[in-house]
Structures are given as structure tokens and as C-alpha cells.
Chains A and B, each alone.
Chain A
Amino acid sequence: MNFFSLFSDVISKFCQSTGFAAFFQPGGYKFAIMIVVSLIFMYLAVYKNYEPLLLLPISFGMLLANLPGANLMLPEMTDPATGELARGGLLHYLYIGDEYGIFPPLIFLGVGAMTDFGPLIANPRSILLGAAAQVGIFLAFLGALAIGFTPLEAACIGIIGGADGPTSIFLTTKLAPHMLATIALAAYSYMSLVPIIQPPIMRLLTTKKERAIKMEQLRPVSKAEKVVFPVAVTILVILLLPDCAPLVSMLMLGNLFRESMVTEKLAKAASEYMMYIITIFIGVTVGATAAADTFLNAKTLGVLALGLVAFSSATAGGVLLGKLMCVLTKGKINPLIGAAGVSAVPMAARVAQKVGAEENPSNYLLMHAMGPNVAGVIGSAVAAGVFLSLKTFFESMAR
């Protein structure tokens, strides 16, 4: 072998070992498409400010998963020839937190430590608005069944209507893990579009007079009520629906840290440091599940379309019950606060405030809307619990 043929052989082997070579192999174009998609999401996060705390790590994870040769999501494997255990990729180990349902409840712990349930306790009727907004979950579930998704997949698509990222991730890892990236991206993308999706629906379903309704000031809530609330809800909900225990228990524990006022450091740790660390892990690993083969298919488009249906119908459900409550209370409830029942804390409440203030600048609906808003968080966790408890039934339906 002369020098030149040896040289060209080495160069050829080196080129084939790089990630670039994978782009020119059959199906390699999919990697390029996914890289472009991840860059678009990155652009939306950085320059359009769409949920940057989540979309940026998700899009970066998506980029990493689609760089051929990086193998960051590769699981541990035993070499059949040598019997040696080859270690998996970094993101594979972090993904275990998603797979085992550890990260979403920890996010709920932080959310609980940040959330004031006072408006909900002050006006318990507003909890029903949070229940009405869950109608979007079940309508999207039905729609997904109608267009050919399996019942397990349909349940995960439906939960997008809960506008609750951790709940969507938690449920999807349990029922349809192959759809995790699609569901998480749809959920977080639509959540970031709440200020765009909700106002037209709210205006369409309400009259100008209804939007201008001023609500009475909420009563102050005592510390005792705020301390008893998380404990009582934990006992009640978990006894009724044990499957939603991980989410509800962590949400309420975080809130107890906050309201007891004797564990300020724990509340701070949960709502700041831990929450941000988990957000990084969950974002990057969820994005990393968006491999070209699982993401680039017709089902993804179906999920995105049904996610929009879920979000819109959830908003409509909340507003319509708000209208009914407005009639029953002789105009004491502004129907706009029903739209906040879709979770997306606190953005949906802010949207209700903004739309109400457009009709009547002296109208302050924010605290009233926070009641259905936090009720929506509990409601979507309960809906996830219902789907989990029906897992066996869904499997029998699929057969």
C-alpha cells in the first residue's frame, strides 16, 4: 500500500467517523430538519420570549439529540463480544428522573411553595371554574380517539388541555413515553401562547357588559385556613384518587412550607434553587427525546392540532361556567375569570385581568382569577389521576 492510498484511507475513515457523514446516509436529512426545528424553537425562546425558561433548554436538548454521533441519550449497553458494560450518555442518566416520574412532582413542590391558595380559599365557588376548564382535556381525548390515536396516547394528548407542563410530562411518561417530546413541546408551546389564544375566545363568549363586571373584594384568609388547606386537600384527594398522589402531595407540601411560615428556607429552596435546577434537567431531557424518527411523523401534526382544540375548549368551558355563575349570582361573578381555570399559573389569571381591564380600567380581576387558576392546577392533576387509574381499561380498549 503506497502512502497516498493509506492517507486517503485514513481520511475516509475519519470522515465516516464524524457526525457529518450521517447527514449523507439514508434518512440523514431528518437530522438536518430536526436541527432546524430546534433552532427555530431557540429563536422563539431567545428573541420572542416564548417561555424561555422552558423552551430554551428543551430546544437545546432537541439539538443535542439530533447531532449524529453525540449519543447523549444512548442507554447503557453490554458489548456482546467483550461482555463489557458501555456507559450510557449523560442525558440518558438525567432522563431517568423523567422516566421514573421524579422531576414533575419536584416541579410541583416548587410551584406549591410559590403559590398563594388564599384567593381560592376566600372564594371556594371559584374552584368549580377550575373543574369546568378541564372539559378541554376530555374533548381532546375524544378527538384523539376519533382520529385514530390509541386510548393511552389520546389520554396524553388530552392532558395538554390542562395547560400544565409537569402533569403532561408525568402522565406521558406513564402512559405513552414514546410521545413525550411531542406532548411536552405542544403543552409548553400552547402555554406560551395563552395571551394569544385565550382573549379572542373570551371576547367571543362574553358580552361587553359581562366583561366589565366588577367583583367584590375577597375576604382576607387567616393563617389557620392556609395551613389546614394543603393538609386537608392532600388527605382528601389522595384517599379518593391514589394515582395522583405524587403530584398533589408535592404541590401541597410545597404550599405547607410556604404557609406554615416556620420553614421559610425550605420554601425558598423549593421555589427557587431546586425548581430551577429541575427545570434545566427536565427541559434538556424532554427536548432530547425529540429524535428525528419519533418526532417527524404525521402524529406530531395531529398532536399539535388536538392540543389547540384542548386549550381552546378548556378556555371556553371555564368561560361558559363563569357565565352561568354570573347569571346565578345576579351579576356578581365576571365570566372572564373562568378562562383562568386552565392552569398556566399565573399567566391565565393575568390574561383575565388584562381583558377585564380593557373594558373597565378600574376593574381588578387578578386575585379573583387566581382562585380558578390554582383550582385548575389541582383539577388537571386529578384528571391525570383519573387517566392513570384507567390505564388497564385503556389497554383493554386498544385490544
Chain B
Amino acid sequence: MGFMAQGLSVCVIGMVVVGAVLQLISMMMDLFKALMYKEAAPKHNEKKDISDKTAEAGAPGGNPAGADELAAAITAAVAAYCAASGSPADKFVVRSVRPAAPAAHGRRTLL
């Protein structure tokens, strides 16, 4: 077998091994998740369970239960401030709350 053909076979083997190992890790995580959520909430389907947990944790974008209340509270606070300062109080309405995006810059890496 030629030199380059041997090299090519190393590439194919390498990619297959890397892909297979990472795929196995992925499957293992799926399996563990399925087992864990099955134990935690046997009466609910998984999707429902996850969205409930998201809501409990107040995670953004997951329709968190406390987010509407927080938005209403901020709206009320802004309205109160506007009313006190004499400006129209209905200009600000907070519809949803989400965390600020992490800084997307910087040069430092861990590796």
C-alpha cells in the first residue's frame, strides 16, 4: 500500500474513532437523562418535565413562571417613577425578562 494511501487510512480510522467515541458519550448522556427523568417524574412526559424544571429555575426563554410577575413589577415601578416625575406613565411596558448576554469579546483562552 502506498504511503499516502496509508495516511488516508489513518485519517479515516481516526475520524471514525473520534466520531464513535463522542457519539457513545452522547448516547450515554441521553440514556442517563432518560433514566433520571423517568425516576423523577414517572407520570409526566419528558418534554413537560423539562419545561417545568426550566420554569422552576427561572431560566430565560423557557417561559419561567416568575418572569411575568417580575415584568409586571418592573412595569409598575417604572410607572410609579414616571407618575412621580410628571411624565406619562403608560410609555413603558416590560413584556418579558431575560438575562443580559455575556460579553462576546476578549482574547483569553483556557487552552
Contacts and interface: CB of A to CB of B under 8 A. Distances in A.
Given A142-B11, A163-B111, A346-B110, A217 B4 contact: no
A164 interface: yes
A220 B53 contact: yes
Interface SS of chain B? helix
Contacts of A49: 107
A95 interface: no
B110 A115 contact: yes
Contacts of B105: 350, 354
A72 B81 CA distance: 68
The 9 lowest CB-CB distance pairs between A and B, nearest first, are A217-B61, A138-B11, A124-B26, A354-B104, A353-B104, A145-B7, A124-B29, A131-B22, A127-B26
Contacts of A191: 109, 111
B59 to A, nearest CB: 6
B29 A121 contact: yes
A382 B17 contact: yes
A195 B18 contact: no
A166 B32 CA distance: 30
A255 interface: no
Give the interface size bracket for B toward A.
35 or more
B18 A134 contact: yes
Interface string B42-81: 0000000010011001011110000000000000000000
Given A127-B26, A139-B11, A142-B11, A217 B110 contact: no
B41 interface: no
Interface stretch (A56-64, A73-81, A230-238, A290-298): A230-238
B102 interface: yes
Nearest to B12: A138
A87 B107 CA distance: 40
Contact of A138 (B15, B103, B104, B106): B15
A135 B15 contact: yes
A393 B108 CA distance: 37
Contacts of B36: 222, 224-225
Counting chain A CB atoms within 10 Å of each CB, which of B10, B11, B33 scores highest? B10
Interface stretch (A1-9, A175-183, A327-335, A371-379): A371-379
Interface in A298-350: 343-347, 350
A180 B11 CA distance: 22
Contacts of A50: 107
